[in-house]
Amino acid sequence: MENDPLNFEQKHLDSVIKRISHIVQRLHDKYKDDQNKVETSENINNKIQSLKDIASKPYFVRLDFLEDGEKKPETIYIGKQTVIDKNDFLVYDWRAPISSIYYSGDLGETYYKTPIGKQKVDVKLKRQFEINDQKIINMYDAGDTIGDQLLLATLSQSSSHKMNNIVATIQSEQNKVIRNDTDAVLSVQGIAGSGKTAVLLQRVAWLLYQYRSTVNSKQILILSPNELFSNYINNVLPDLGEPNALQLTFNKLFKMSAWVRDYHIEDLAEQVTSPNSNVFLRSSKCFDLLERYCSLLNGQDCCFKSIKDGTKSIVTGNQLKRIFYSFNENYKLFNRFAATQEQAQKRLKRYLNKIKRQKWVEEEISAIPPQTLGFVERQQNFSSINAEQEYWRQHIVEKKYHEQIKQINSGAFVDIVAIAISFLKSLLKSKQIIDDKNLPKEIDLAVKKLNCKIIDPNLSAILLYIQQQISHEIADKNIKFVLIDEIQDYTPVQIGTIKTIYPKAKFTFLGDANQNIFENNYNIFDDISYIFKENQVKMTILNRSYRSSAPITAFTSKLLPQNKFNNNIQAINRNGLKPQLITVKHSQNMIDALIKIVRQNIDMQTAIICKSLAESQSLFKKLQEQVDQVTLIDSESQETGDKLIVIPAYLAKGLEFDAVIAWNTSKNNFPGEKQRLLLYTICSRAMHRLFLLTKSDVSPLIAAVPHDLLDRK
C-alpha cells in the first residue's frame, strides 16, 4: 500500500484538504441559517476562518503506534488544531494528550496521560512533513541517521520580525515544561537560543487547551521585559488559534497605581546607564528587610496625605493616622486600611453635604441648558422637584471634588513614598548590613530621586510592594497563571511584589543568568525558591541552543564564565561559518568595514548591536549618510521589521537576527569581567552570521577565546 510513501502521503493530504473544504462549505450553509443569532454566527465564522487558515497545511506529522493490549497499529496525524469530519478525526490538536507521544522522544515504548492514568504505547513510525501550499515538499522518518531534518530545516530558515510558533519542532525537554500540570511554580534556566520564549508561548496555548472549561485568555498574564518584545511575540497565539493572553511590563504594572501619575518613571535606557546605582536595592537582603518592615506597619510608621480642598484640609494626614491606629490591634494591615478608607469616605461625604448648600452650586444648576435638564429628567424619572435638585447638587459637587473622591477610593491617601523613604533610612540602622560601605550613598541617591518625584525600576518595586501590603490596590485574584520571561532582570522585591498582586496564580519563570546585563549580585533562581518557600519549586535546565549555528554557539559559549551549567552547553548540529573578527586601526575604517559587511549580507535581516543607546544613536547618524533603509531602534514601542537595524543591547534581549554585527568590541569598550555577560548577550542574538568589529586592541574577553573558533581578518 505504501510502496511509494511520498505519493501515498500526498494523496492522503489531498483527501484531508478536500474534506476540510467540505466542512467549510457545511459551516457556510449553517452560517446562512443562523445569521440572526449573533453569538452562534460569530462562533461559526471563527470556525470557518480557523479551518481556512490551516487548509493548505493541515498537519505536520504522522504517528503510527500500537496501544498496550492491541494488535493493530493506529495512525494519527497531528497539526495546529483538531479537525473532525463526521466523528472521524482527520487531525489531532498538538496539545491533545495523545499528541504528546510525538514530543516524548524516539521510536519505541512510551506513554501518554489520560484522565484514568498512563496509557502505554509502542511508537512504530514518526513521519514529519514540510508542507507548502498543499504540497509535500519534504518528509522525514524519525530514526534517519542524518538526525532531525525537519528541525534543522526549520532552524536554517531566515529570521522574522515576528516570532513564529514551534509546534512542529518542540523538543522533548521543552515539551516537559510546556505540558507541566503538577507544579505551582516552574523555574526554567535556559541558555540563549534554547527556546525559552517559544516554550512560554506554547505553554500558554497548552494551558488554554488543557483548562479550556475553567480558564480563558484574560486569566493568563505574560510579563514581558519591554514593549518591543511584546510586539515581537504577539502573533504566536493567534497563529495557533488562540486569543492573546494579557501582556504587561513591570513598568506598566506599576503605573496602574493612581498616585504615580505625578512622578517620572525611569525607563530601561536610564537604568542601563547606571546599573550599579541600586546594588543593595536589587538584593534578596533588601527584600527580607522590606518584608519585615511592612510587618511592623500594623503598629507604627504608616504615613498619610491630607485630603484637601485647595489649602484647606478636609481630613489631615495626622487625623488619618490616628484613625488607622485606633482600631483593634488584631486588625490586619489591609483591614486597618479598609476601615480607615471607610471613615475618610464618611468625613468627605459630610463635608460635601455642607458644600452642596452653598450659593455657587445653585448658580451652576441655574446655568444648565434646559435641553440637558429635560433629557436627564426623562432618564432619571425624578419623584419630585426636590429629588431633581438633590441629583444636580450631588452631580456638580462630585464633579468639582472628583480628585478628592478618587484619592480616597483608590487608596492614594496613603503616603507610599513617605513610607518608602522611612524604610530606606531604616536600612542605615540595620545591624545586618552595617558593613556595606556603599549603602549610605545608595540610600541618599534613592531618597533624593523620590523627593524629586523620580522613580527608577528598583524603587518602583519597593513602592509597589508597600502599597500592596497596605491597600491591595491592583491585586487581581482572577489571574490563574503568570508567566515571566527574562526573569534574570527582575529583583527579589519585584518577584515578591508580583506574588502578592496575583495571590491565586501559578507561576512560570524563564530566564538565563548569563544574560544578566544589569550586574545583579545575586542568583535570581535561588531567590525564587526562597520567595516561594511554601511551594516546591520545579527547576528545569534547558542547555541546548537551537538559535545559532554550531560555530557561533562554540564561540559564544567560550565567552561565558566556566561553571557546571555553562560547561554543559550543547549546540544543535547545524553547520555554518565561523564568527568573523575584523580589526581596524581607525574609526572611519570601522564604518567602511561595517558598510561592506552590510552590502555582502543584503538579503539577511541584520542587526548592528551596540553596547548602549548613546552609541547606537551616534552610529546611526553616521550610517544614515551612506546606507539606505537603516532604522534605529531606540524605544520600546518600535518593531524590528526592517532588514537593517541599529539597536542597543538592552533592547535586543530575547530577539534573534540572521546576522549580527557586534559594534566596537574593542578593549576600551569591553575591558573586562563586568562586560562579559553583555558581550555574550549581544553575540548570542545571531542565527547564521556573526561579525565582531574592533578598533585597535580587541577586548580581552574575545582575545581569550581559542584561536580556531574565530575567522580573524
Statement: residue 34 has pLDDT above 70: no
| β-strands 312-315, 307-309 pairing | antiparallel
Using the structure block, give the residue that is written with the C-alpha cell 501515498: 8
The answer to whether 685 and 702 are in contact (CB under 8 A) is no
Statement: residue 645 has pLDDT above 70: yes
Average pLDDT over residues 236-245: 91
SS (H, E, C) 631-685: EECCCCCCCCCCCEEEEEHHHHCCCCEEEEEECCCECCCCCCHHHHHHHHHHHCC
Using alpha carbons only, give the angle 439, 443, 449 rounded to the nearest 5 degrees. 150
For residue 514, the 8-state DSSP code is G
Using the structure block, give the residue that is written with the C-alpha cell 479551518: 51
Residue 126 pLDDT class (50, 70, 90 cuts): very high
N-terminal to C-terminal alpha carbon distance within the chain: 57
What does the alpha-carbon distance between residue 151 and residue 154 come to, in Å, rounded to a whole number?
5
Percent of the chain with pLDDT over 70: 95
Using the structure block, give the residue that is written with the C-alpha cell 494579557: 246
By three-state DSSP, how is residue 312 classified? strand
Cα dihedral 232, 233, 239, 240, rounded to 10, equals 170
Q: Rounded to 5 degrees, what are φ and ψ at 225?
A: -70, -30
pLDDT for 388 equals 93
Contacts of 485 (CB under 8 A, 6+ apart): 196, 197, 200, 222, 223, 224, 225, 229, 510, 511, 654
Residue 270 pLDDT class (50, 70, 90 cuts): low
Q: Across the chain, how many H-helices and E-strands are there?
A: 28, 26
Statement: residue 595 has pLDDT above 80: yes
The answer to whether 563 and 589 are in contact (CB under 8 A) is no
Statement: residue 145 has pLDDT above 80: no
pLDDT for 276 equals 55
Average pLDDT over residues 684-707: 95
Residue 166 pLDDT class (50, 70, 90 cuts): confident
The answer to whether 376 and 400 are in contact (CB under 8 A) is no
For residue 278, the 8-state DSSP code is T
Residue 112's nearest CA partner among 63, 159, 151 is 63
Average pLDDT over residues 592-619: 94
Query: b or e along 510-526 (b: 16 or more beta carbons within 10 Å of the residue's beta carbon)?
Result: bbbbbbbbbebebebbe
pLDDT for 89 equals 96
Cell numbers given for 259: 498616585
DSSP string, 72-131: S-EEEEEESS-EEETTEEEEEETTSGGGHHHHS-SSEEEEEEETTEEEEEEEEEEEEEEE
Average pLDDT over residues 613-631: 91
pLDDT for 146 equals 35
Contacts of 453 (CB under 8 A, 6+ apart): 262, 263, 264
Residue 104 pLDDT class (50, 70, 90 cuts): confident
pLDDT for 434 equals 62
What does the alpha-carbon distance between residue 309 and residue 425 come to, in Å, rounded to a whole number?
32
Tell me the Ramachandran region of residue 696: left when phi exceeds 0, alpha when psi lies from -120 to 50, beta otherwise.
Answer: left
Statement: residue 612 has pLDDT above 50: yes
Average pLDDT over residues 90-112: 91
- Burial of 704 by CB count in 10 Å (0-12 exposed, 13-18 middle, 19+ buried)? exposed
Statement: residue 562 has pLDDT above 90: no
Quick: pLDDT tens for 434-447.
Answer: 677 888 999 999 99
pLDDT for 451 equals 95
What domains appear along the chain, each with residue ranges and CATH number? 5-179 (no CATH), 185-293+417-542 (3.40.50.300), 304-414 (no CATH), 550-712 (3.40.50.300)
Residue 144 pLDDT class (50, 70, 90 cuts): very low
What does the alpha-carbon distance between residue 535 and residue 563 come to, in Å, rounded to a whole number?
28
Statement: residue 275 has pLDDT above 60: no
Quick: pLDDT tens for 359-405.
Answer: 999 999 999 999 999 999 999 998 999 999 999 999 999 999 999 99
Statement: residue 636 has pLDDT above 80: no
What does the alpha-carbon distance between residue 69 and residue 72 come to, in Å, rounded to a whole number?
10
Average pLDDT over residues 694-703: 94
DSSP string, 354-420: HHTTSHHHHHHHHTS-HHHHHHHHHHH--SSHHHHHHHHHHHHHHHHTHHHHHHHHTTTTB-HHHHH
For the chain, what is the mean pLDDT? 90
Contacts of 460 (CB under 8 A, 6+ apart): 250, 251, 254, 265
The answer to whether 197 and 485 are in contact (CB under 8 A) is yes
CA 352 remoteness from chain centre: 45
Residue 519 pLDDT class (50, 70, 90 cuts): low
- Burial of 20 by CB count in 10 Å (0-12 exposed, 13-18 middle, 19+ buried)? buried
What does the alpha-carbon distance between residue 53 and residue 79 come to, in Å, rounded to a whole number?
12
DSSP string, 330-346: T--HHHHHHHHHHHHHH
By three-state DSSP, how is residue 210 classified? helix
pLDDT for 463 equals 96
Using alpha carbons only, give the angle 510, 514, 515 rounded to the nearest 5 degrees. 70
**Binding site per annotation, positions for ATP:** 190-197
Residue 20 pLDDT class (50, 70, 90 cuts): very high
Percentage helix, strand, coil for the chain under 3-state DSSP, each rounded to 5: 45, 20, 35
By three-state DSSP, how is residue 576 classified? coil
Contacts of 54 (CB under 8 A, 6+ apart): 20, 79, 80, 81, 83, 91
Average pLDDT over residues 532-540: 90
- Burial of 650 by CB count in 10 Å (0-12 exposed, 13-18 middle, 19+ buried)? buried
Cα dihedral 247, 251, 254, 260, rounded to 10, equals -130
For residue 146, the 8-state DSSP code is T
Quick: pLDDT tens for 291-328.
Answer: 999 999 999 999 999 999 999 999 999 999 999 999 99
Residue 274 pLDDT class (50, 70, 90 cuts): low
**Binding site per annotation, positions:** 190-197
Cell numbers given for 459: 524603587
What does the alpha-carbon distance between residue 57 and residue 132 come to, in Å, rounded to a whole number?
7
Residue 36 pLDDT class (50, 70, 90 cuts): low
Average pLDDT over residues 688-694: 97
pLDDT for 93 equals 96
Look up the pTM and report it. Answer: 0.91
Residue 355 has a CB neighbour count (10 Å cut-off) of: 15
Residue 243's nearest CA partner among 219, 225, 227 is 219
